[in-house]
Structures are given as C-alpha cells and as structure tokens.
Amino acid sequence: GESVGLHLPTLSVQEGDNSIINCAYSNSASDYFIWYKQESGKGPQFIIDIRSNMDKRQGQRVTVLLNKTVKHLSLQIAATQPGDSAVYFCAERDINAGGTSYGKLTFGQGTILTVHP
Amino acid sequence: EAGVAQSPRYKIIEKRQSVAFWCNPISGHATLYWYQQILGQGPKLLIQFQNNGVVDDSQLPKDRFSAERLKGVDSTLKIQPAKLEDSAVYLCASSPPGGVVDTQYFGPGTRLTVL
C-alpha cells in the first residue's frame, strides 16, 4: 500500500546550522507533497509544498527538494533557530485517492528536530 | 481569522466508556477532516466531509467510531465503546472550497487517554 516514511527519526543541530530532514515515499502516483511542522500540543502547521513537476522550491529559510527518480523528498532549513524545534512531517497527495478533487493526504512518521542554543 | 477550534483539549476515560469530540472549522471552509495521531506517528485520516456529506471514511473503524456534520459547519466525532488502542490525539482540519490543491488548516487536537 501507500507509505511515506522518514530515514531519521531524530535530528539534533546547533543554532545557526543548516538542517536537512529526509523523507521517502512509495506512491509514484503522488503529485503533490507538503512539509508540516508540529510543535508540542499543537496541530501540524503548513511549511512549504511542491508539485511533482518541480524538483526544487524555496521559501523563507526553507527549501524543499524532490527527487522523483528515487522517490525522495527533503526539507532544508537554513540558519536553524531554537524556534524551529518541532516534529516535521512530510505528506504526499494522491489526486486519484479519496472522494474529492482534492485527493487524499498520507503522512509520514515524522522527524524530531532539536535545536541547541 | 480564527483558526480551527476543538474541544475538549484533553480527555481521560476508562475502556468501554464513550467519548465525543467537537470541532468548529474555519468559517467558510467546506471540507472538514478528522485525523487520529498516535504518539510518534503522523496523522491518519479517519473521515472527510464535503459540506455535510461524507466523501471518505474508508479508515474509520465504523463498529465503534462515528462522526457527523449535520449543518455543514461543526462536527462531532464519537467513540463508543473506547479501547486502549484509541489513546491518541484527534485532530480536526478544514480546507477552503475550490482550488486545485488541498491546503488543510489543523486545530490543536484533543488528547485522549483510555485507561
């Protein structure tokens, strides 16, 4: 079945370093990918997304890279700050799944990012 | 703009008891989702509503879970009877009508502990 997984369950970095969080997916039909940040006691918060026809997208301090050949997604955070400490999830969307034109999101397991001051 | 509201934030019950969660989505959002998030895992979709109709409940354990969105706004998720493995955070999310992609806005969740 469909699955989205992460290579590293935990990542510890020093403040100011760059962070890279990885994600593997298995559904080649997925056309859209999202990274979410979840802080303790809160719901997931959208960070950045990328469509399957792109291989890179940049936001403010964040970059998402998509390698469809090996079904791999990564989130790069530049100059990581203590406020970036959270659990990060990747999610994939299969437009043909679910019951609406929105498709269906499948979330991965998550990576815990800890930023040390 | 107010976010997705959920209540209660925490609930502790004993197995075989019943429990209900409430969600108020962002005003104007037609699509509402309920997710189950077990500790250490990503959210898993339980049920998706489009207005007051169910469009996907394929992963909802229908023998014990039920959900409704009668007027196309608020929604309730019920578990009856609860099992130990139901201990999780229950997240509600909503997304606006139209558009090509599905931007979901999540509430803070309800943490359920079943003893």
What are the residue boundaries of the structural domains of chain A, listed by start?
Answer: 4-97+107-116
- What does the pLDDT read at residue B78? 98
Q: Which residues of A touch B (CB under 8 A)?
A: 4, 32, 41-46, 49, 89, 91, 93, 98-100, 102-105, 107-110
CATH code: domain A4-97+107-116 is 2.60.40.10
Beta strand extents in chain B (DSSP E only): 5-7, 10-13, 19-24, 31-37, 44-50, 53-56, 65-68, 75-79, 88-95, 105-106, 110-114
Show pLDDT as tens, one digit a residue, over chain B (115 residues): 689 999 999 999 999 999 999 999 999 898 899 999 998 889 999 999 988 899 889 999 999 999 999 888 999 999 999 999 999 999 999 988 765 556 789 999 999 999 9
Bridge partners (DSSP) of residue A49 are A34
Q: Is the pLDDT of residue A85 over 50?
A: yes
- What does the pLDDT read at residue A1? 38
Helix (H, G, I), strand (E, B) or coil at B78: strand
Q: Are the CB atoms for B76 and B70 separated by under 8 Å?
A: no
Nearest chain B residue to A108 by CA: give it.
Answer: B42
Nearest chain B residue to A41 by CA: give it.
Answer: B108
Could you report the per-residue pLDDT of A20-43, keeping only the tens digit for each? 999 999 888 888 899 999 999 899
Cα torsion A23, A4, B101, A96: sign? positive
CATH code: domain B5-114 is 2.60.40.10
Matching residue, tokens 């969080």 = A21
Q: What's the mean pLDDT in A42-46?
A: 93
- Nearest by CB to A43, from B41, B44, B106: name it: B106
Q: What does the alpha-carbon distance between residue A3 and residue A25 come to, in Å, rounded to a whole number?
A: 6
Q: Which of B25, B91, B86 is nearest to A36 (CA)?
A: B91
Residues contacting A9, CB < 8 A, separation 6+: A109, A110, A111, A112
Partner-chain contact B55 A89, CB within 8 Å? no
Q: Which residues of B touch A (CB under 8 A)?
A: 4, 31, 40-45, 48, 50, 54-56, 91, 93, 95, 101-109
Nearest chain B residue to A112 by CA: give it.
Answer: B40
- Nearest by CB to A100, from B31, B43, B93: name it: B31
Residues contacting A82, CB < 8 A, separation 6+: A15, A115, A116, A117
- What does the pLDDT read at residue B70? 81
Helix (H, G, I), strand (E, B) or coil at A101: coil
- Tell me how many residue pairs between chain A and chain B have CB atoms under 8 A apart: 61
Q: Which is more confidently placed, B50 or A78? A: A78
Partner-chain contact B106 A110, CB within 8 Å? no
A78 to A51, A113, B5: CA distances (angstroms)? 22, 13, 32
Q: Is the pLDDT of residue A7 over 60?
A: no
Q: Are the CB atoms for A14 and A116 separated by under 8 Å?
A: yes
Q: What does the alpha-carbon distance between residue A7 and residue A111 come to, in Å, rounded to a whole number?
A: 8
